[in-house]
Structure 1
């Protein structure tokens, strides 16, 4: 294959991706007509899952890309769509996010005067994955290979810091409590719907990863959002696991700490395929070895969590 042929293939692949994206978000991009009455859910990857459980014939809500995926053209289109929307459900976003007018206040300004707005939290829960962190370090925009999650034990190892391999049950509960306390802090900043009380009792369906809640959270949260909108309808159970494309390991000592009625899962599951934890660990060790500045910054950022592990 010549270089020109490779370039044509690349362009064709890119074009196919664009077409598929526009079809997936057909109403948003104008590929299909907007409903006569509709709402929008804006936020990270959790937003589409929340839309999935609140959308119904009584309460239509159109599919849009996650806020971190929006381009400048997409942002302009979102404001056009909001000008016709009857409600906005949003996770808080700062003004001029990624240099675009995607802040919650900026989006609210484009709504009709009679539209409803419900602010919901961005959820992270560490009780089932107390070894896991999601990190954004300035200067390092890429994620580690295979899965975009960091294991505090591997980061500590890369930094030359001794930590335990497991936590005692009391420490697992403390890590969970830390994440709930942070969620409550965010909720107290003027949000309309709370989620922090939905993590009791602890069951395996609460979370797939530290930032991917499960059905046990989304369904009751959806009920609260519908009620806060003051609209008819109820939360809709999609009849399948929500936000389940990536599932982190559920380690045996975590299962024991919560007395969960489920079997431990030692490996990752990504898009339905088993991904061995050993494979992920090997790839992440190599990634860290090439980025000592990232490791130094990361261990500083996770210092409170790291303290739990070093004290175990």
Structure 2
């Protein structure tokens, strides 16, 4: 049975607890690290934390036996949430292990997850952008489907970026991502259990802790699953059948509905479209060759 997490604010944490801090991926890492002999305290994702949360985190850090963190820059959102700032509050005996923010485009080369400064809203239905819908909104010519070589080039670009970030990180994930199956990633930034379990093994080893990862008994980060398009399945020779639809909270959603809703959202947010096309110019360039 899964060990229940301790509430973050207001309740005394268990003896010998550890903390996992990062974006929405951090909770998956916490779940597979958590065990009766290494309890963890559930921490909100950094982009949701307020000043009171950060104060509570710095109260807990000196008592924590370990901190597992995704790299966060100093003074993130004007708060003491930078990885170095958190590490400074740890006890001298506590261990810190960093793991990467995992993004991988091999299974979803048509997808982008991005924010533009000054625009907090996200598009409806799913908060992911389809390069084809975005390019159409920017008035660019229709983008052709990618051939195998181009799919592999988009994948290679995303892996190169992850490997570059891993140079300053304790444990790597990039070698776990070659798409032997669609279970590797649910979306461009939501890894499946086949990534979390071996990545947690590496974290436990880096922490010097005995025992293996905890099997959550359910698929992690599974609320949204992007389509698995036939040309991507062909490019990698995947064992799974293609799937046209999105799956959102267990319900199939037609991609045409998503494209229509997003096109409308782009019309209402022209500044987003302009900034996103600049940010994604390399990816759009791969598509339009």
Under a length normalisation based on structure 1, what TM-score does the superposition of the two structures give? 0.89
After TM superposition, which residue ranges in structure 1, 4 or more long, deviate above 3 angstroms? none
The residue matched to 1:27 in structure 2 has which SS? coil
**Pairs within 5 Å for 1:279-298:** 279-298=257-276
2:220 pairs with 1:242: yes
**Does structure 1 retain, via aligned residues, the 8 Å contact 2:5–2:40?**
no
2:13 pairs with 1:29: no
Question: d(CA) in 2 for partners of 1:28 and 1:137?
Answer: 30
2:39 pairs with 1:60: yes
**Pairs within 5 Å for 1:136-155:** 136-155=115-134
**How much has 1:141 moved relative to structure 2?**
1.3
**Pairs within 5 Å for 1:148-297:** 148-188=127-167, 190-297=168-275
**Does structure 2 retain, via aligned residues, the 8 Å contact 1:163–1:309?**
no
Over residues 251-271 of structure 1, what are the superposed CA-to-partner deviations in whole Å (9 max), with x where a residue is unaligned? 111111111111111111111
The residue matched to 2:96 in structure 1 has which SS? strand
In structure 2, runs of 5+ residues without a counterpart are: none
Q: Which residue pairs with 1:303 in the alignment?
A: 281
Question: d(CA) in 1 for partners of 2:178 and 2:273?
Answer: 34
**Does structure 2 retain, via aligned residues, the 8 Å contact 1:268–1:276?**
yes
The residue matched to 1:224 in structure 2 has which SS? helix
RMSD: 1.3
Over residues 88-124 of structure 1, what are the superposed CA-to-partner deviations in whole Å (9 max), with x where a residue is unaligned? 0000001110111100011111111110000111010
Over residues 218-257 of structure 1, what are the superposed CA-to-partner deviations in whole Å (9 max), with x where a residue is unaligned? 1110100000000112112212111111111111111111
In structure 1, runs of 5+ residues without a counterpart are: 1-23
Q: How many residues align?
A: 286
Q: Which residue pairs with 1:40 in the alignment?
A: 19
Q: Which of 74, 98, 106 in structure 2 is aligned with 1:119? A: 98
**How much has 1:198 moved relative to structure 2?**
0.7
Under a length normalisation based on structure 2, what TM-score does the superposition of the two structures give? 0.96
The residue matched to 1:127 in structure 2 has which SS? coil
Question: d(CA) in 2 for partners of 1:141 and 1:261?
Answer: 38
Which protein is richer in helix relative to its size? Answer: 1
Q: Which residue pairs with 1:4 in the alignment?
A: none
Question: d(CA) in 2 for partners of 1:108 and 1:89?
Answer: 10
**How much has 1:26 moved relative to structure 2?**
4.6
